[in-house]
Amino acid sequence: MNRTGRLPRRGWVALVAALALTAARAAEDPLGYPASATDPTAADGRGEADSAAEPFSIPDQLRPRGGVDPARAPPFEDGDPEHRLSWFEEPFGPSPCDRNLVDPAWMGPGEYAYHKSPGQCWCTRDHTRMFRMGYMGTLWSSVELLLWATSADSFPALATASPAGTPPAAAGILGQPGTGTLFGGGDALGTMRPGGRFTVGVWFDPRQLDGIEASYLELALARHGGTWGNASGAILARPYVDAVTGANAAVVVPAPGAFPADPALLSQSIQVGSTSLFNGAEVLLRHSLVCDLFHRRYLVGGYRYFGLIDRLGVTQTNVISTGTPGGYPQLAIGSRDQFDVVNQFHGGEFGLIERWWHHRWGLMATGKVGFGGTGISSAVSGLTRGTQTVLNADGTTTATLVSSTPGGVLAQPTNSGNRWSSAFAAVGEVGVALDYALLPQLRCSVGYTCIWWSQVARAGAQIDPAVNPTQFPPGTLAGPAAPAFQLQTTDFWAQGLTLGLEYVF
């Protein structure tokens, strides 16, 4: 500075150059993070001015209290140790390099393996940490798309058809020439269908040694069936076994004596619909038996629930002209059989989960078994109704219910009703999944799962094909009480592929 108190021209130039250099360095990264792995400061995490300095470390008085990841706490510059953790605060610490925050004591093995993977620069900023919250740092969740198939239900023949011109005594009867089965007579395919499973859990410690989780899964509704009419001249029928004679027989409306051609018969239709819904839930505690750096073996135990709901309905409708053929009045005779079964398993479950991590890859194997009880609720009902439609003078029509009688074809008063029973049951689940870390907190996976349930009742198995025809509406039972209800049970399985995403908060 000269005697006038002003800087000489060369001093001003030097000051401006120094300020420009400082601004340029600050613009690169105000916290001192290297721009990339090729940055000279990335070689050892130190800048040019402190190349001989010790690696950065957080002073003890500024470290958060035990049990909280320092990388998930708010900035340390606030100087207020009692208020470092708050909801939705920016958790970036002042460290110039994430290597000072990557500590297996403060994170799960999957995230630690990610940071140690060859493709991960050992001194770079982990931008995902800015989305973390101190109080939710041990929360995790996953969502999976399921592409599963289930074991099939078995049905007796429920609907048949015979070609036009079939003799009345053979129409619709199984084993007769020309008779074809429209639905039933074997297993319905266990159609592969989509579903979903959602899991949420909390670790009791940052190292993910012990925790609790809850999950729910459900498959899309499986549907089987169809609707058939006599537009082609076919004769539609409901087959059964005559409980009095033991021979195959069939219900045909109107009575077979009117065949092969009855101008009074306007239309016939049979509709069969079968649905099946499977879901499940569990709440598990996890305890680590093996806690190597990149390996965990968890003992799991808790509560398990499964539900399986089967519904089967068969409707037969026949419209007959009781006046001039093709005219009014018309009588619609409809019969319906309904078979519903609800299975619910409640019990305890335990098992093992093995999980390994190597760099960004992970492998998980699961094996669980549960014991408890299956509650089975069944409902069988049948109904036959007659509705007469007349033509009014003004051209409109009026429909009147003329009869309503309990009993259809395979659901009669002898086997109808609501029933409940329970049985001891076992369930099991095995699975394997391969996952890959897209980010330190986000992993995608593909795997296989199989679930087995030892004791369930299916709707098709509750059908007794033997019927005493004397009780067909409006008749009165005479002879053996058939069909009869006797609960039939079997096992059930569901298996298929899983595609998932897991996120650690």
Q: Check whether 7 has a pLDDT greater than 70.
A: no
Average pLDDT, integer, range 271-277: 94
pLDDT in tens, 207-256: 889 999 999 999 999 998 999 988 777 889 999 999 999 999 998 865 54
pLDDT tens sequence across 396-421: 989 999 989 999 999 999 999 999 99
Residue 236 · residue 169 · CB < 8 Å: no
Residues 6+ apart with CB under 8 A from 313: 271, 272, 273, 274, 336, 337, 338, 339
Spatial CB neighbours of 296, under 8 Å, sequence gap ≥ 6: 109, 208, 209, 288, 290, 353, 354, 355
- With contact defined as beta carbons under 8 Å apart, do 473 and 112 qualify? no
Pick from 332, 160, 338: which is nearest to 240 by CA?
160
Query: 89-109: per-residue pLDDT in tens?
Result: 434 444 444 445 566 777 788
pLDDT value, residue 342? 98
pLDDT value of position 27: 45
Q: For residue 274, with 0-12 CB atoms within 10 Å meaning exposed, 13-18 middle and 19 or more buried, which class applies?
A: buried
Q: 373's torsion region: left (phi>0), alpha (psi -120 to 50) or beta?
A: beta
pLDDT bracket for residue 19 (50, 70, 90): low
Strands (E), 73-192: 139-150, 154-155, 159-162, 180-183, 186-187
Band (pLDDT 50/70/90 cuts) for residue 6 is low
Mean pLDDT score across all residues of the chain: 80
| Predicted local confidence at residue 40, as pLDDT | 43
What confidence category does residue 50 fall into, taking pLDDT thresholds of 50, 70 and 90?
very low
What are the beta bridge partners of residue 320? 265, 331
Q: How many residues does the chain have?
A: 505
Instruction: Give the pLDDT confidence score for residue 412 in this predicted structure.
Output: 94
- pLDDT > 60? residue 459: yes
Segment 121-128 mean pLDDT: 51
The more confident residue out of 298 and 262 is: 298
User: How many angstroms separate the CA atoms of 248 and 181, rounded?
Assistant: 14
The winner for highest mean pLDDT among 10-24, 128-142, 207-221 is: 207-221
Residues of the chain with pLDDT > 90: what percent?
A: 51
The Cβ of residue 132 has, within 10 Å, a number of other Cβ atoms equal to 22
Give all domains of the chain, ordered by start, each with its CATH number. Answer: 10-131 (no CATH), 139-183+190-252+270-319+338-378+421-504 (2.40.128.100)
When pLDDT is cut at 50, 70 and 90, the band that residue 135 belongs to is low
- Cα separation, 286 vs 296, whole angstroms: 11
Highest-pLDDT range among 229-243, 304-318, 322-336 = 304-318
